[in-house]
Structure 1
Amino acid sequence: MKVKALLLGAIASTAMAPMAMAERGSDGNVNIIYWQAPSILNPFLSGGTKDGDASAIILEPLARYNQDGELVPFLTTEIPTVSNGGVSEDLTQITWKIAPGIKWSDGSAFTSADVKFTADYCMHPEGGCAQLTKFDGVQSVETPDDMTVVVTFDKPTPFPYGPFVGGESPILQKAQFENCMGAKAPECTTENFGPIGTGPFVVTEFKPNDVITYAANENYRDPNKPAFATVTFKGGGDATAAGRAVMETGEFDYAWNLQLAPEVIAQMQEGGKGTPIAGFGPLVERIMLNQTNPSPDLPEGERSTAKHPHPFLQDPAVYKAMSLAIDRPLLVEIGYGQAGAVTCNWVPAPAAVNSSTFSCDTQDIAGANKLLDDAGIVDTNGDGVREKDGVPLKVVYQTSTNAVRQDFQALIKEWWSQIGIETELRNINASVFFGGDPGSPDTFQKFYADVEMYANTFNGTDPQSYLGNGICDKAPRPESQWQGENISRFCNEEFDALHAELTQTADADKRAEIARRLNDIMVENGGMIPLVHRGRLSAHANTLGGVVLNVWDSEMWNIADWHRKTGS
């Protein structure tokens, strides 16, 4: 099968509507494998997709984005808008109406108090919330009654769907988490490993970085769902083993994030047990450039913080040369094929916000060397490594462990050596790298390296909150338990001011224009080096029905609709 045809067929398969389902629990067990193993079940304490997806089986937001990027109600009666009176005319307030009859899995009533508590939990000044940008501008959250939540913003907010929307911002039960506020949040192991939720399943056992077992939620609002009685969510291994376990051996029903070469996917599908599914959202593989100094010679509380700027990565000649030296079309070819595309942008989708400012399709080693030569960053001692102000251009380049990323590392190390930059490669188990443990030196948030490579994305089609990840005060730091979305520690006054303008702009064309400019400021000023616009590629067993891949929200967004196909 041709790789292009494989991908197109996979994309088409995501649009299929789920079939009718049987009664709750009648379809036995469903086996899911994420080769990046979840380490926590609280998405407010981890920016990792694998943790968010494992949590989404239990925890739910007020509203989600569907497979087309459209907002749909989950725990509410409708999506508030100006036209239906749910958003105030002056755009400073949004009112959510909770749907009647929703219960937590412990049988207690879900009320507006839980929603307000979730905001207080994330916005606590002594805590570290990985999703804090979702609550930017929130002045108050009030509960006129048990079924009503009123969010008031400190200024007109044309896009008021940050708090409580999408898989990254679900609702926590107040009764369970009320003693886990602020600095105590990461210490609440029982709560973080076994949250009570409103979703279709409950946790029965969680072994961090290994396996999670779930059972159908007997108090779930639809009496006929979920069809599966139990879920086994296995973590660990690698993408190759995960893909084979679904498409060749049939051991598992769903495999996530098959970051594999396209010919490998095609070979796996020939096993006849499963089908790849793919779609393009805003997912970008990129290299983050640490704006701060990660040197182990610095005190623990000062490494990778604004107290110590990086000795050379803020120099435009350096980061532009690093980007010029990379052959992005080759990376796409060896890593993703038709499931990837060259991008020069942080936010390549939706199309309206995809900037056309940059061109990066062509590798230019000679041009990169000239940039450095012209800046006086030269090799003075003949060891092959350039120096800036006496500091050798030596970088530690870290990423998570998987075959594609290690291939990328090896190639980029060689290209950078050709422009006088020495590179030490480090790869870290994905469960640790994306785990968010404030005590670990190896998380991507802590960023104890000069550069690091990974991909992430955002919920929905509006990038306001995601672009807020570049705001100065969102940098991870000891005071925030090393949580925070501004991973590169980027800080630019123009960026912050422009993002504030975005939060107050209603016109769609103007919002897109501002978003493109924010993208450009980040890339122009060396916050990151974008590499590949990645399609999201997973696989499901041919016997598994109801799967609808969603590139705008959690892949587990509709697990309540999954079922075993009749006759399978």
Structure 2
Amino acid sequence: MKSFWLVRRLLSASLVGIPLVGLLWLGSCTRQPEKIDTVEEQANKEADESTLRLLYSRIPTTLNPHLANGFQDFEAARIVYEPLATYEENGDMVPVLAAVIPTPENGGLSKDGRTVTWKLKPDVRWSDGQPFTAEDVVFTYQFVTDPQVAAVTETYYEAIAKVEAVDPLTVKITFKAPNPSWALPFTGQNGMILPKHVFSQVLGGNVRVAPANLAPIGTGPYRFLTVADGVWTFGANEQYREGLPYFKIVELEGGLTPYVAARRVLRDGDADFAHNIQLNRRDRIDLAGAGQGTVSATFGSYVERVMLNLSDPDKVTKDGERSAVKNPHPFLSDVQVRKAIDYAINRDTIVDEVYGNAGQRTNQLLPFPQKYTNPALYYVYSPEQANKLLDKAGWVDSNNNGIRDKDGVEMRMAFQTPINPVRQRTQTLIKEDLAKVGIDVTIRRVIPEDFFSADPAQTRSLNHFYADMQEYNAGSDTPDPSIYMSWWLCDQVASIKNQWQKPNNARYCNPEYDKLWQQASRELNPEKRANLFAQMNTLLMQNVVVIPLVRRAVVNAVSDRLEGVDVTPWDASTWDIGTWRLVGAPGAEDETTEGKNSN
């Protein structure tokens, strides 16, 4: 709305500048005030049509994607920055800053899987007019892998031995070993390229306070203008190689609840796009029926899951560590108990009542791309089978209080999730399901900033996992699932030793799983590699380390006045924001040509 008030202020200022004689003359004409209103309304309409308004639940903290603190930072950064390539919804790669996708046929991929050569598009410029070259790609690698920088995207670059600028438009990447995951670095939201001429003076520990983190120079369709009152404003990038985008201004506002954001797009019509609106089915249907917009659901590999803690969250080691591997959980360390819990949860009810068409029941931790799934894995809801397994394991209700017990230990569990209306309803349904089989559940609700925190002092985080169960949504953010599936390796267990920075919060360790992952990390044959990932998927399901509930869509609210929005699960929603425009709007080519000729 800032551009709206800016127009009003400028119109007011123009009236102040009119001479007194002119004001007297205006006052003598009875029809003139009506004309002034018409001009003002027309100016407001034009400002509204040239401004794209985006709404998010969290406020961006940085526009440097490699220092991101959450999805909101990637979403905002992607308006400005670009990778070498990204992925369409079906997983196919498409070039962005690259001229072509490397293949063995065009000489981009070596037969031994050790090198990849990227050819860059010519005549690409940063928004400050400086040329984009291979040196920027080399610098981005140096930036991301600098230990003092501690980039959140570093994992995607770990397999690289070196990156070289062969010439200004050619980049050669050499890997430490044959690498089937050659496409991970420099692609998607984790691959955005930084300008060397901007960041080269602030490497190391100083990078966190670099002004460019909040005022970036990018190659994308928009350039950063300002931030005020929680609204980040971007303007059309005159240097953009594809010409000026349709909208002159993009306003990104964060800190809204999902319902308010969805309402503003779907009912009120004063915003164009609301990201990831996690609403229950009824609210979503009611708002979509208001006629101002539509709800868009994009399915990828993301799965809402229940994680089971294989360690005891209540026992404390002499070092002060809870949920330590050395202290197995009193009953969740038993795979038969975990299987019983799996049988007891009614996924159909969760999908039908809570998600509707925004979710699909799943029994796969890796549901997409399809080649990684195991069709032999079946979902079975059976409280009867759950009771039989618990009886066989010796957990019975010895004192008739409705809660099973064994050797003086009752089956009581703390179940934590980040605060969210969808998850809160899911928690309640699971609590009711487990009560039917004699397991008592206490619900804990954690604010998202604490739950997803990487702060070692934040004991309510998902990696500390000081609970028996927890629920959240995660999945692979690229079609190659190698990083995602590494989360269950033995050396990835979160602990006090690594300050809870490792992703294996279930404390799962299985040498058989590790062996499969190591094989997949070296296998260059796509079919054989897909089979290895399918085996990993199967092993995690058989061991019931995690209980997949719902294959969850990214659900966005999109205004009916907007077209060109093509969301992919493998990049930020803003990845193609340069193609967004008003429905039925004429092409921007004429305006682009005029703008270029006027320079």
**Mapping for residues 135-214 of structure 1, pairs under 5 Å:** 135-174=157-196, 184=205, 188=209, 192-205=213-226, 211-214=230-233
Cα–Cα, structure 1 residues 88 and 401, in superposed 2: closer, same or farther, change >3 Å? same
Task: Output the CA distance in 2 between the equivalents of 1:304 and 1:193.
Answer: 38
Contact 1:58 1:201 in 2 (8 A): yes
Q: How big is each residue's C-alpha offset from its partner over 1:393-448, in whole Å with a ceiling of 9 and x where there is no partner?
A: 43332222222111000111122233333322222333553454555444434444
**Mapping for residues 247-258 of structure 1, pairs under 5 Å:** 247-258=266-277
Residue of structure 2 in register with 1:545 after alignment:
563
Task: Output the CA distance in 1 between the equivalents of 2:494 and 2:164.
Answer: 29
Task: Output the CA distance in 2 between the equivalents of 1:186 and 1:323.
Answer: 46
Residue of structure 1 in register with 2:113 after alignment:
91
- Residue 559 (1) aligns with residue 577 (2): yes
What are structure 1's unaligned runs of at least 5 residues?
1-24
Give the drift of 1:345.
Answer: 0.7
Q: How big is each residue's C-alpha offset from its partner over 1:489-523, in whole Å with a ceiling of 9 and x where there is no partner?
A: 43322222212211222333222211211111222
AA matched with 2:351: V
Give the secondary-structure state (helix, strand or coil) at the position aligned to 1:281.
coil
Contact 1:33 1:254 in 2 (8 A): yes
Give the drift of 1:216.
Answer: 2.1
Contact 1:27 1:563 in 2 (8 A): no
Residue of structure 2 in register with 1:500 after alignment:
518
- Residue 134 (1) aligns with residue 153 (2): no
**Mapping for residues 9-408 of structure 1, pairs under 5 Å:** 28-46=50-68, 48-124=70-146, 128-174=150-196, 184=205, 188=209, 192-205=213-226, 211-216=230-235, 218=237, 220-222=239-241, 224-295=243-314, 297=316, 302-304=321-323, 306=325, 309-360=328-379, 362-379=380-397, 384-387=402-405, 392-408=410-426
Give the secondary-structure state (helix, strand or coil) at the position aligned to 2:189.
coil
Give the drift of 1:268.
Answer: 1.9
Cα–Cα, structure 1 residues 295 and 38, in superposed 2: closer, same or farther, change >3 Å? farther
Give the secondary-structure state (helix, strand or coil) at the position aligned to 1:84.
coil
Task: Output the CA distance in 2 between the equivalents of 1:237 and 1:154.
Answer: 44
Task: Output the CA distance in 1 between the equivalents of 2:160 and 2:264.
Answer: 45
Match of 1:509 among 523, 527, 530: 527
Larger mean CA deviation between 299-308 and 85-94 belongs to: 299-308
What are structure 2's unaligned runs of at least 5 residues?
1-46, 587-599
Task: Output the CA distance in 2 between the equivalents of 1:37 and 1:299.
Answer: 39
Give the secondary-structure state (helix, strand or coil) at the position aligned to 1:514.
helix
Give the drift of 1:331.
Answer: 0.5
Cα–Cα, structure 1 residues 39 and 435, in superposed 2: closer, same or farther, change >3 Å? farther
Q: How big is each residue's C-alpha offset from its partner over 1:41-78, in whole Å with a ceiling of 9 and x where there is no partner?
A: 44444574333223222232211012342111111111
Give the drift of 1:475.
Answer: 4.3
AA matched with 1:544: L
Give the drift of 1:313.
Answer: 2.9
Give the drift of 1:289.
Answer: 2.4
Task: Output the CA distance in 2 between the equivalents of 1:298 and 1:509.
Answer: 45
Give the secondary-structure state (helix, strand or coil) at the position aligned to 1:167.
helix
Cα–Cα, structure 1 residues 96 and 522, in superposed 2: closer, same or farther, change >3 Å? same
AA matched with 2:136: D
Q: How many residues align?
A: 540
AA matched with 1:370: K
TM-score of the superposition, structure 1-length normalised? 0.84
Contact 1:61 1:169 in 2 (8 A): yes
Residue of structure 1 in register with 2:451 after alignment:
433
Give the drift of 1:161.
Answer: 0.4
Give the secondary-structure state (helix, strand or coil) at the position aligned to 1:420.
coil
Give the secondary-structure state (helix, strand or coil) at the position aligned to 1:416.
helix
Task: Output the CA distance in 1 between the equivalents of 2:507 and 2:333.
Answer: 11
Give the secondary-structure state (helix, strand or coil) at the position aligned to 1:272.
coil
Give the drift of 1:459.
Answer: 3.4
Residue of structure 2 in register with 1:5 after alignment:
none
Larger mean CA deviation between 363-372 and 317-326 belongs to: 363-372
Give the drift of 1:305.
Answer: 5.6
Larger mean CA deviation between 325-334 and 279-288 belongs to: 279-288
AA matched with 2:53: N
Contact 1:133 1:468 in 2 (8 A): no
Over the matched positions of the two proteins, sequence identity in percent amounts to 36
- Residue 471 (1) aligns with residue 497 (2): no
Give the secondary-structure state (helix, strand or coil) at the position aligned to 1:317.
helix
Give the secondary-structure state (helix, strand or coil) at the position aligned to 2:532.
helix
Cα–Cα, structure 1 residues 312 and 188, in superposed 2: closer, same or farther, change >3 Å? farther
Residue of structure 2 in register with 1:16 after alignment:
none
Cα–Cα, structure 1 residues 466 and 434, in superposed 2: closer, same or farther, change >3 Å? same
Q: Considering fraction of residues, name the structure with more helix.
A: 2
AA matched with 1:152: T
Contact 2:236 2:249 in 1 (8 A): no
Q: How big is each residue's C-alpha offset from its partner over 1:370-394, in whole Å with a ceiling of 9 and x where there is no partner?
A: 2223223445666544456765443
CA RMSD of aligned residues (A): 3.3
Task: Output the CA distance in 2 between the equivalents of 1:229 and 1:509.
Answer: 46
Give the drift of 1:86.
Answer: 0.7
Residue of structure 2 in register with 1:411 after alignment:
429
Q: How big is each residue's C-alpha offset from its partner over 1:95-142, in whole Å with a ceiling of 9 and x where there is no partner?
A: 122323333344444333433343344444566554444234322323
